[in-house]
Amino acid sequence: MDTATEPETEQVVFVTEDGVPTGETGPKLASHHEHTRLHLAFSCYVLRRRDNALLITQRALDKKVWPGVWTNSVCGHPAPGESLDDAVRRRAAYEIGLPSLSELHCVLPKYRYRTPPFQGIVENEFCPVFAAWADTDPEPNPAEVGGWRWISWADYQELLNDRTADVSYWAKDQYSQLKVIDPFVGL
């Protein structure tokens, strides 16, 4: 898969409530609107091995969906026929400039969410959540990422609980499930 795929040409894979592909796809940008159909996505939390710091990113201000919000390390959509692992690695290379994630594994295989409307757009995703390690700093694509930082898991929890912080809906929602497990055991 080409790591330089432009969002205008990307396709999303529509799925059933159980995450099974329906065989239908749609253009990524045109498929996100006030009546977004359920589609396949992923989220990934990347930790730095030397100190277990978590990489968080701020979405670029010109993103169509949730611009400028802070969120987990990398999110995206698998292409039709692409495995989730391959999609995570492709987007990590394209979005955050980390082509070599180690020990990638799925920690929430059945995570699903639907956001309230945000600037006329509803996210509606069957979105397995992954964890991985990186040993280098990211080199983000400015079209995707407006800012980034490494923080402790405790500081991440404080950020998510800060009512004044601009944090993605899915990061807060995923944390409610991640906090009851240790997503990085076995990495």
pLDDT (average), residues 102-111 = 94
Domain housing 25 = 10-178
What's the structural domain count of the chain?
A: 1
5: in domain: no
Q: Is the pLDDT of residue 41 over 70?
A: yes
Over 70: is that where the pLDDT of 106 sits? Answer: yes
Catalytic annotation, pick one of 6, 17, 44, 125: 125
Active site (annotated) includes residue 8: no
Rank 5-19, 32-46, 172-186 by mean pLDDT and report only the highest.
32-46
Average pLDDT over all residues of the chain = 90
Domain containing 68 — which CATH number? 3.90.79.10
Residue 65 falls within a domain, yes or no?
yes
Beta strands in the chain, from DSSP E residues, in sequence order: 11-15, 21-27, 39-40, 42-48, 53-59, 70-71, 74-76, 102-108, 112-114, 124-126, 129-134, 145-151
Put simply, whether the predicted model's pTM sits higher than 0.95 gets the answer: no
Domain assignment present for residue 185? The answer is no
Q: Is 82 annotated as a binding residue?
A: no
Identify whether 108 is part of a domain. Answer: yes
Query: Does 1 fall in a domain?
Result: no
Instruction: Please check the confidence at residue 187 and state whether its pLDDT lies above 50.
Output: no
Answer whether residue 2 is part of any domain: no
Q: Is 44 a catalytic residue?
A: no
Q: Is the pLDDT of residue 170 over 70?
A: yes
CA distance 59 to 142: 9
- Residue 184 domain flag: no
CA angle 171, 173, 175 (to 5 degrees): 70
10 labeled binding residue: no
**Does the structure show a pLDDT above 60 at 139?**
yes
